[in-house]
């Protein structure tokens, strides 16, 4: 039976991204995204719910997010679900998170951008960034003759 895991989230960063590198030199960062939901109760009262989601970004995507975004910046993330499991103090623990595979900056001129970036909505800053797959899924697909433009 086929499986499918795809998540698209839009929210704001809950903290400044912190870049680190694993032993192979691949960049990785864990970010938090706050997703706001506003709904109306049967009584007519409006309430706001906030969902916090942990997201892991790899490779160039991790580097770009750390370079240009800060806490509060709006961001679109597309990725897949991943369940992490571990044991702590003799108890089994688990956490569902997202492995981000594609991002889109949503901020306008300089809003939420960190130092060192030009901000704005130029194509370079709004372009979609793809990261290399995480180490456990490393693969390389050589180009075919159909990929050659001439």
pLDDT at 1: 84
| CATH code: domain of residue 90 | 2.40.50.140
Q: What angle do CA 91, 94, 100 make, to 5 degrees?
A: 155
> Does 1 map to a domain?
no
> Does 2 map to a domain?
no
What's the whole-model pTM score?
A: 0.69
> Does 45 map to a domain?
yes
Query: Each residue of 34-73: b (16+ CB within 10 Å) or e?
Result: eeeeeeeeeeeeeeeeeeebebbbbbebbbbbbebbbeeb
Alpha-carbon span 110 to 36, nearest angstrom: 22
pLDDT at 148: 53
Q: Are 16 and 31 in contact (CB under 8 A)?
A: no
Alpha-carbon span 129 to 101, nearest angstrom: 8
Q: Are 29 and 65 in contact (CB under 8 A)?
A: yes
- Residue 108 belongs to domain spanning: 7-147
- The list of the chain residues with pLDDT below 50 reads 109-141, 150
> Does 131 map to a domain?
yes
How many domains does the chain contain in total?
1
pLDDT at 124: 40
């Amino acid at each position: 039976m086929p499986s499918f895991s795809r998540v698209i989230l839009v929210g704001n960063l809950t903290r400044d991204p912190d870049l680190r590198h694993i032993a192979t030199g691949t960049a990785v960062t864990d970010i938090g995204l706050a997703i706001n939901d506003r709904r109306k109760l049967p009584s007519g009262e409006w309430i706001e719910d906030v969902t916090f989601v942990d997201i892991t970004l790899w490779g160039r995507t991790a580097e770009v997010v750390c370079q240009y975004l800060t806490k509060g910046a709006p961001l679109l993330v597309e990725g897949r679900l991943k369940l992490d499991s571990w044991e702590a103090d003799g108890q089994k623990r688990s956490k569902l998170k997202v492995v981000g595979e594609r991002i889109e900056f949503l901020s306008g001129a300089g809003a939420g951008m960190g130092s060192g970036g030009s901000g704005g909505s130029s194509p370079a800053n709004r372009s979609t960034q793809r990261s290399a797959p995480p180490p456990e899924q490393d693969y390389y697909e050589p180009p075919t003759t159909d990929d050659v433009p001439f």
